């Protein structure tokens, strides 16, 4: 037999043995994961983490909404000043801010 044939046979044997060992290890990891995620302690921790994330998201949304409202107010007040001419974006005219 040539070197290539021996290499291919070795590759085949390694693949077969590796897949058997790999499947056993995979099943071991799945059993470990199921035991871990089924633990009441882990479930309580996951629930607390979920609640904390939801609360953080609510607070974040409130801050964003306040920022948007503040920006909206600033834009409206700037557009409605008597000194300024508002830009007509549709017709492409420039505003007169020289005052």
Look at residue 12 and tell me if it is in a domain: yes
The model's pTM: 0.45
Q: Quick: pLDDT tens for 59-80.
A: 999 999 999 999 988 888 887 7
Look at residue 66 and tell me if it is in a domain: no
Element (H, E) at 92: none
The answer, yes or no, to whether residue 96 has pLDDT greater than 60, is no
Look at residue 69 and tell me if it is in a domain: no
Look at residue 82 and tell me if it is in a domain: no
What's the structural domain count of the chain? 1
Look at residue 51 and tell me if it is in a domain: yes
Range of the domain at 19: 1-56
Q: Quick: pLDDT tens for 17-63.
A: 777 777 787 788 889 888 888 889 989 998 999 999 999 999 999 99
How far is CA 56 from its chain centroid? Answer: 15
């Amino acid at each position: 037999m040539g070197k290539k044939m021996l290499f291919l046979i070795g590759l085949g044997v390694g693949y077969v043995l590796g897949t058997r060992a790999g499947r056993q290890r995979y099943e071991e990891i799945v059993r470990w994961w199921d035991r871990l995620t089924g633990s009441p302690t882990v479930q309580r921790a996951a629930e607390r983490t979920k609640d904390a994330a939801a609360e953080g998201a609510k607070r974040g949304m409130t801050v964003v909404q306040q920022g948007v409202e503040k920006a909206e107010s600033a834009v409206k007040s700037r557009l409605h000043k008597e000194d300024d001419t508002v830009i007509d974006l549709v017709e492409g005219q420039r505003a007169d801010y020289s005052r």
